[in-house]
Amino acid sequence: MPEKLRIIPLGGLGEIGKNMMALELGNDLIVVDAGLMFPEEEMLGVDLVIPDVTYVEERHHKLRGIVITHGHEDHTGALPYVLPKLRAPIYCTRLTRGLVEVKLKEHGLLEQAELRMVQPGERVRLGEFSVEFIRVTHSIPDSAALAIHTPLGVIFHTGDFKLDHTPVMGLPTDLQRVAELGRQGVLLLLSDSTYADVPGYTPSERIVGDTLWRVMASSQGRVIVATFASLISRVQQVADAASACGRKVFVTGRSMLDNVAMALEQGYLKTDQDLLAPIERMRGLRPDKVVVLTTGAQGEPTSALVRMANRDHRYVEIQKGDVVVLSSSPIPGNEVLINRTINNLYRLGATVLHSRVADVHVRGHAAQEELKLMLALLRPRFFVPVHGEFRHLVVHAELAKAMGVAPENVFVLEDGDILELDGERGKVVGRAPADLVYVDGLAVGVDKVVLRDRRHLASDGVLVALVTVDRHTGKPMGPPDLVARGFMEHEMSRKVLERARKVAMEVLSKGSGDRADLNARLHEALVQFVYNETRRRPMVLPLTVEV
């Protein structure tokens, strides 16, 4: 009996298979992407979220390599955390390698890492898998789809993609090779579903360039463009538009400067602008001769743009006439921060253009017609939508069925589902561990109890009850000391706690001298009393000292 192929999406906060996937065949296993996720509001105090690699770790002897499709954080950012567990060579294209190197260096891991560059069109043999990198367009250059040749057939993994026929940097998607693979026969298509609910086509990056040029040509003031640090092609467009309008570009924001430096060094950015000139040189230039390129388009609290909006940036003071362009679309959850930033910029006299009111951003992912075209070119036997919330996967699955993929060969998976395919049929055969792994400070791993406690503390604070107990009799020596934080305004808190002390004393004076019992009764009495008086439920911590 021939081996079966296993496909396992492993990471994505709500977006299935976004940050990591594992493919396994017999004695070989490869990982596609190793990205990080940003915590949701309720993950209090968590810095980052990364995929659970237990399944791969347990099969470490089979792991042949980690293949990275492109250089965005959500596909590379978990590498510093998972590499120590999964020592394996990393395969990626040139710009991606540049970005991964910057990241691994930061974590002091570059020396141990084995980074191997692959050109689009090249193939890498990883055990039974032969991975061919295929050029696709996305919002970062050097993005790749993967045609993974196996004895059972070809698996085509699109990576993140859109079909931009006139990309700002690099070449368009290698549709010829895609079509050829389709003609030869594709076993399985794994396709980007991020915008599967958007009808039509995603516009080319070009239209953003036109808008930027128009804004720079028509404004009397400075133009301040905020975008993602990794959006190298947007940087190119800003530089081009500025040059065309006789403006000088100044860059601010640490991550933006790092990426620009790397992209210049690697020859990805081509411009007559001196993008690394110190921003201090801006002083004295006429406003209509200046462009500032900055981070902070998502309202990130410590970003350069937000510091400008809060009059807290060292070199850029927002002034009347400034036009601020937010060249990104809001990531769900960031709307409030973004709106606050826009309002503060308006308060300082700036005008703000954002994606709701002007063509200052285009999506980096394929819309429905592009997804259909990919399906039409590849005509896969099996289809698994990936990189999207569950609802996007369902919509994408319906598109595939409408395009003729047999319904029983379309699988909407959740992270951790183990899909097993032979050449003929597929089945979900089990679950791999796929919990979210939280990174907080130096530790990888914050457990659910910690988060639950933090949520409790966040909502009504903490109340410590300190009881002194006679070590001989086991009896309390007086009413407890009560200390609260985050509970109520000081004076109100004092009054409530004064009465709570009396209630606590009554409870303590009854019952046995058993310490656990005493603590439990004290806890219950305080929780109840405080709730009745205030309708709040601080975390009550009874502590006992024996003397």
Regarding 485 and contact with a copy of itself (CB under 8 A), the answer is yes
- Shortest distance (Å) from residue 344 CB to a copy of itself: 8
The pair of structure tokens assigned to 164 is 């931009």
- Among 67, 66, 58, 369, which Cα is nearest to 199's? 369
Complex with a copy of itself: residue 276 or 477, whichever CB lies closer: 477
- Shortest distance (Å) from residue 198 CB to a copy of itself: 9
Complex with a copy of itself: residue 130 or 534, whichever CB lies closer: 534
CA 12, CA 417: separation in Å to the nearest integer? Answer: 13
Regarding 343 and contact with a copy of itself (CB under 8 A), the answer is yes
- Shortest distance (Å) from residue 187 CB to a copy of itself: 27
Contacts of 517 (CB under 8 A, 6+ apart): 511
Site for a copy of itself in 384-423 (CB under 8 A): 389-391, 394
Regarding 369 and contact with a copy of itself (CB under 8 A), the answer is no
Q: Is 192 noted as a catalytic residue in this protein?
A: yes
Complex with a copy of itself: residue 432 or 446, whichever CB lies closer: 446
DSSP letters along 271-299, please?
-SS-TTS-GGGGTTS-GGGEEEEES-TT-
Regarding 543 and contact with a copy of itself (CB under 8 A), the answer is yes
The pair of structure tokens assigned to 197 is 């609910």
140 contacts 232 by C-beta, under 8 angstroms: yes
195 contacts 203 by C-beta, under 8 angstroms: no
Pick the stretch among 18-26, 84-92, 243-251, 462-470 that binds a copy of itself (CB under 8 A): 462-470
CA 395, CA 400: separation in Å to the nearest integer? Answer: 9
Regarding 102 and contact with a copy of itself (CB under 8 A), the answer is no
Distances (CA, A) of 446 to 243, 435, 439, 441, 455: 49, 12, 7, 10, 13
CA 315, CA 283: separation in Å to the nearest integer? Answer: 9
**How many other CB atoms are there within 10 angstroms of residue 379's CB atom?**
15
296 contacts 344 by C-beta, under 8 angstroms: no
Contacts of 432 (CB under 8 A, 6+ apart): 8, 10, 22, 54, 55, 416, 417, 418
Pick the stretch among 162-170, 188-196, 237-245, 336-344 that binds a copy of itself (CB under 8 A): 336-344
3-state secondary structure of 218: helix
CA 132, CA 18: separation in Å to the nearest integer? Answer: 20
Regarding 358 and contact with a copy of itself (CB under 8 A), the answer is no
Please calculate the CA angle 490-499-501 and round it to the nearest 5 degrees.
95
Q: Please give the size of the binding site for a copy of itself, defined by CB under 8 A.
A: 65
Residue that is written with structure tokens 């992912």 in the block: 365
Please calculate the CA angle 195-197-203 and round it to the nearest 5 degrees.
50
The pair of structure tokens assigned to 539 is 């975390």
- Shortest distance (Å) from residue 423 CB to a copy of itself: 30
- Using CB under 8 A as the criterion, what x/- string covers residues 21-50 for binding a copy of itself? -------------------xx--xx-----
Length of the chain: 547
Regarding 440 and contact with a copy of itself (CB under 8 A), the answer is yes
Q: Which amino acid is at 119?
A: Q
Regarding 487 and contact with a copy of itself (CB under 8 A), the answer is yes
212 contacts 237 by C-beta, under 8 angstroms: yes
Site for a copy of itself in 506-535 (CB under 8 A): 533-535
Regarding 197 and contact with a copy of itself (CB under 8 A), the answer is yes
Q: Which of 462, 505, 519, 523 touches a copy of itself (CB under 8 A)?
A: 462
Pick the stretch among 118-126, 242-250, 261-269, 483-491 that binds a copy of itself (CB under 8 A): 483-491
Q: Choose the catalytic residue: 149, 157, 365, 392.
A: 365
Regarding 442 and contact with a copy of itself (CB under 8 A), the answer is yes
Q: Which of 201, 213, 315, 346 touches a copy of itself (CB under 8 A)?
A: 346
Complex with a copy of itself: residue 169 or 338, whichever CB lies closer: 338
Q: Choose the catalytic residue: 33, 74, 164, 192.
A: 192
Q: Which of 319, 459, 509, 528 touches a copy of itself (CB under 8 A)?
A: 459
- Shortest distance (Å) from residue 418 CB to a copy of itself: 18
Q: Is 365 noted as a catalytic residue in this protein?
A: yes
Residues belonging to the active site: 192, 365
Residues that bind a copy of itself (CB under 8 A): 14, 40-41, 44-45, 197, 332-333, 335-336, 339-340, 342-344, 346-347, 352, 356-357, 389-391, 394, 440-443, 445-447, 449-451, 453-462, 464, 466, 468, 481, 483, 485-490, 492, 533-536, 539, 541, 543, 545, 547
